[in-house]
Amino acid sequence: MVDSLTASKIITVAEEMLQIQGYNAFSYRDLSKRIGIKTSSIHYHFPTKADLVQAVMNHYHDVFLEKLDELNKESSAEKKVMAYAQMFVDTFKKGGRICLCASLASDLDGLPEQVREQVGQFVLIHEDWLSEVLQEGINNGEFYKCKNLRQNARNIFHTFEGAMLVARTSSVDRIEDARQWVLILLKP
């Protein structure tokens, strides 16, 4: 049981460090200092940095899917988009964290292939979900009918990812502004 708790703690702290510092800016030594364990203990659970980041991505993916399930309970497509945007706000309010996807994408060239693939798959999950919500909003008359639903979903995702990065230079208001702008663009 202790090993499982240790692995969970490693994943949690590594996720935070990845979201704040990025892939190339943290090491097992940094992680061991934060957690208060030896680097050999981290290597026991995650032999390589790629193994650790894959575990973090898997955890992040699972939590994200749970959040999407919650968002799907919202009564309208507009509320779903607003709640989706709130996830970005909430993430940023945790010490300036950015989406793990954006953080890893900024270090993409230095990532192991399997991690790059996970990042790409995670982007597609966002785009798929947003495409479905946009279609729901169009069907319900909440959003205007667009020519390229998938491109609009991508643009929304890119807007929030970029807003998180820019928010680091100023404040969370950048994400709030993006949320309002997206809603204005979607409304008929």
* 133-162 residue pLDDT tens: 999 999 999 999 988 999 999 999 999 999
Answer whether residue 21 is part of any domain: no
Does residue 28 lie within any of the structural domains? no
The answer to whether the beta carbons of residues 98 and 42 sit under 8 Å apart is no
Is 29 part of any domain?
no
The domain of 133 spans: 56-186
DSSP 109: G
Whole-Å CA distances, 98 to 120, 138, 160, 175: 17, 30, 10, 11
The pLDDT value given to residue 108: 86
**Residue 35 in domain:** no
Task: Tell whether 4 is covered by a domain.
Answer: no
- Write the CATH number for 179: 1.10.357.10
Instruction: Look at residue 75 and tell me if it is in a domain.
Output: yes
The total number of structural domains that make up the chain? 1
Q: For residues 42 and 64, what is the distance between their CA atoms, to the nearest angstrom?
A: 25
Q: How far is CA 122 from each of CA 11, 48, 84, 126, 138, rounded to the nearest angstrom? A: 18, 21, 15, 7, 25
The answer to the question of residue 92 being in a domain is yes
Other Cβ atoms within 10 Å of 66 Cβ, number: 10
pTM for the model stands at: 0.90
Q: Does position 30 have pLDDT exceeding 50, yes or no? A: yes
How many CA atoms within 13 Å lie on the side-chain side of 128? 8
Position 86 in a domain: yes
Tell me the pLDDT band of 35, cut-offs 50, 70 and 90: very high
Tokens coding 63:
């939590």
